[in-house]
Amino acid sequence: FEPAFDLIPKIGVKNVEFNVWYPRTVTPAGIESIRDRCYQHGLRPISLQGTAFGGNVLKDVTHKLWLMEQAKNLGCHRVKFTGAKRDTDGGLEGVIEALKALAPAAAEMDVLIAVENHANNNIENIEDYDRILQAVDSSHVGICLDIGHFDGAGVSNFDVIDRFPGKVLHVDLKDVAEFGVYKTVPYGEGITDGEGIVQRLIERGYSGYLV
């Protein structure tokens, strides 16, 4: 994260999400380093994004529990995970099984689990979230709305927001070249209606972060 810690203070951003996708970043020393450098640079951790659900439910649960605890240690109380490629690594059923085990711990620890959509993923569309949220009824488990991935997957962000009021816990802002094809472009140069989506979120009561 050395370039990030150099650049972020210069552009005036204070709230930072950390993608802890490598072994060195999730060790006690790695988390302590994030905490120390945030303090030095006047930054505030707001979320940890870990690697995806998939492959082994026991490993998923222990990995996610560890990151939930480290989020608490950093003071951010929010973790974010997507799934594996569609119909691989245990599919959506494996994600649901892991979330069923994690939800009580999330409530006890007061850590939000934001489940992120990706195109061509086990977590991709409205039907996937219907199954997840019907199986795991928890105020601490909800949606990370990745607006570019929904457009890329051919799913209306507005339909998602209207279908799941109060369940969007986190938002990733992203832009894609065309609806139904996941190809990212610099934000503001594609077809994703970021302003309209954020307005609809606010109308539905969203007051969280925009990443």
- Alpha-carbon distances of 155 from 28, 53, 117, rounded to whole Å: 39, 21, 10
pLDDT in tens, 133-187: 999 999 999 999 999 999 999 999 999 999 999 999 999 999 999 999 999 999 9
- Position 192 confidence tier, pLDDT thresholds 50, 70, 90: very high
pLDDT at site 206:
97
90-135, pLDDT tens digit by residue? 999 999 999 999 999 999 999 999 999 999 999 999 999 999 999 9
Encode burial over 172-203: b for 16+ CB neighbours within 10 A, e otherwise.
bbbbbbeeeebeeeeeeebebebeebbebbee
In single-letter form, the type of residue at position 97 comes to E
CA distance 107 to 102: 9
- Per-residue pLDDT, 183: 97
